[in-house]
Amino acid sequence: MRCAQNILLLFLALSMTFLASFSPVLAQDKKGSEDKRDRRGGREFWSSLSEEQREKLREALREVWTDPGVISAREEVKRASDSYQKAVREAISKTDPDVAKLIIEAGKDRAMTDHHGGPPHYRYSQRRGGDYPMGPPGFLEKLSPEKRERFLEVQKEAEESEKVGKARAALDALRQKDDGLRKQRMRAHINLRRAILESMIEIEPEFEKYRDALKASPGPRPPGAGAEKGKSEPRGG
């Protein structure tokens, strides 16, 4: 019995760290260098676990990412993103029919890149032109300087069209909605974790000594929650 309780305590501490490190939702807004550090830290954390601990975390993650609400939100965002890309392509084609061929080529290259496991999106970084990825990695580099310049000019003009503006607004609205859902899920995780800890202490008062250690372990936190450093979580939840 005591062994099972100790395993549960370890799971509470480690699962929150794992979720924070590997959650695709929490990672989506980080910069490239921070992404690399987070992935490296996540791998180091994962390698430090025993096989039993890994399996427990896998089960927890499977439950989270198969939740109907999470699946629905993810699919809704994907549909909005696809609609936005389609609107940009159509606007580009109407602006300059010659560029339509480049769009088709970009789509083929994207499919090949995704099929072989490459990055699905191309970031334009500081390039002049469109601010939304319309081709896979290396696509622009394959074009002649003239075609590359024209492609970026047309995309920039297309993204200023009314049709693309509406698609962008729809995508932004969904992102805001997803952000709200993410905060709710984080609060629910924190409340659940606190409730489990309090119930465990009621069952086994000796576990009171683990309270500070478990509260200190990094778990899911709403954006901006770290602004007030030094303030500890209320002791009785």
Report CA 148 to chain centroid distance, whole Å: 30
Report CA 129 to chain centroid distance, whole Å: 26
46 plus 117 within the same structural domain: no
Residue with tokens 């952000």: 179
Per-residue pLDDT tens for 4-55?
Answer: 444 444 444 444 444 444 444 434 444 455 555 555 656 777 777 788 877 8
DSSP 234: P
Domain assignment present for residue 98? The answer is yes
Q: 71 exposed, middle or buried (CB, 10 Å; 0-12, 13-18, 19+)?
A: exposed
87 plus 151 within the same structural domain: yes
Per-residue pLDDT tens for 194-235?
Answer: 777 787 778 878 878 777 776 645 444 444 444 444 444 444
Domain assignment present for residue 32? The answer is yes
d(CA 17, CA 22) in angstroms, rounded, equals 9
Residue 76 tokens, joined:
């809704």
The pLDDT value recorded for residue 166 is 82
Specify the number of domains making up the chain: 2
Domain assignment present for residue 62? The answer is yes
79 plus 154 within the same structural domain: yes
Cα–Cα distances in angstroms (integers) from residue 131 to residues 2, 88, 152, 192, in the given order: 56, 11, 9, 40
Domain assignment present for residue 236? The answer is no
Cα–Cα distances in angstroms (integers) from residue 155 to residues 88, 106, 107, 122, 138, in the given order: 7, 13, 15, 14, 17
The predicted model scores a pTM of: 0.34
The values of phi and psi at residue 103, to 5°, are -65, -45
Domain assignment present for residue 12? The answer is yes
29 plus 87 within the same structural domain: no
Residue with tokens 């100790």: 6
Domain assignment present for residue 165? The answer is no
